[in-house]
Amino acid sequence: MKAAPIHAAFVKRGIAHEIIHTGQHYDDAMSKVFFDELGMPRPAVYLGVGSGSHAVQTANVMIGLEKVFLERQPRLVNVVGDVNSTVAAALVATKLHIPVAHTEAGLRSRDWAMPEEVNRIVTDAISDLLLTPSPDGDENLLAEGKPRKSIVCVGNCMIDTLRMNLPRAQAVDVLTKYGLKANNYAVLTLHRPSNVDDPVTFGRIAAALLDVQARLPIVFPVHPRTRARMADSDVGARFAAAPNLKMVDPLGYVEFLSLTSRAKLVLTDSGGLQEETTALGIPCLTLRGSTERPITETEGTNTVVGTDPDRIRAESNKAIDGQGKQGRVPALWDGKASERIVDAVMAFLAEREAAAPKATS
């Protein structure tokens, strides 16, 4: 969702570029469908690294990308987000003296137990151009000693994709498919290891969700990781027995946006949904102890509730009773972030190449 509008902006400007798919997200329902729905071309390179521990996955991406970068010699590598592929690509490019631009730079949760936080901090430390989605990202980077000239606040490219696809999504009749009424259901996503791998934590969250579904139907697209963990505990059986909790397979981007854009409430441990619900004006409860997107709390519709069942119940009840958090859309979340990203990248390259020593004959 972040790469698609950047690709489109490069195409619009006639700038040659290639998309590399590492294969970290390899399930068709979690990856290929997004390429198809968002109009992205086949990746120029598909590494197919698949699953594995953080070390194995990061190492395999690095091994694959080193060969690709040596062969193609890009002028710049643009890495996006905070996954293992992001930090792996940044490390390889930096060691090959290829400039790195980091889209979605500067986000911080202050929670070192999150693998993504490590990825974010390492990637930003070695990137040459830091493209932030909001002013708090600028502040974090400046506090860490990054030079002001390397930081450009471009806005949120996730919102570019949302705005571009919202009319198409709202034309999809997802409500009939799941027997729902607009503004009368919740959407749940849950996949983080800290939530689903620990049976005690997963059980506490499940207890609260079972109470919420008694008041408001919940639609739950189940991540493959979460489905596996549910099979290992009693949560799967408890959820299956709940009359108003609909467990469904993962959805494509357009169908999922159709679902979330009409919801009364979203409960999630995802980062992107905190941003999308803020753009949509829908109350969001984040089932984590912290957020790397604090602007969704200070300006948007997000409330970080952690995994405390009482807090989840209380904040859910507020939303169900029409007292959910109201907010506003942050500045530069205007659907034009990808255009500003291309502007920043091309300005960076022009300055860098103008300053490079000229070869003598």
- Cβ atoms 150, 348 nearer than 8 A: no
CA torsion 131-136-140-146 (nearest 10°) is: 40
Q: Which two tokens stand for residue 271?
A: 């980062």
> Own/partner pairs for 150-154, CB < 8 Å, 24+ apart?
151/105, 151/106, 152/340, 152/344, 153/332, 154/103, 154/332, 154/337, 154/340, 154/341, 154/344
Positions annotated as catalytic residues are 191
Tokens of 57: 């996955």
C-alpha 205 chain-centroid distance:
22
First to last CA, the chain: 46
Q: How far, in Å, CA of 189 to CA of 329, rounded?
A: 22
Give the residue from 75, 77, 134 showing the smallest Cα distance to 106: 134
Q: Is the dihedral of CA 100, 7, 80, 158 positive or negative?
A: positive
Of the candidates 351, 336, 326, 354, the residue with the CA atom closest to the CA atom of residue 161: 336
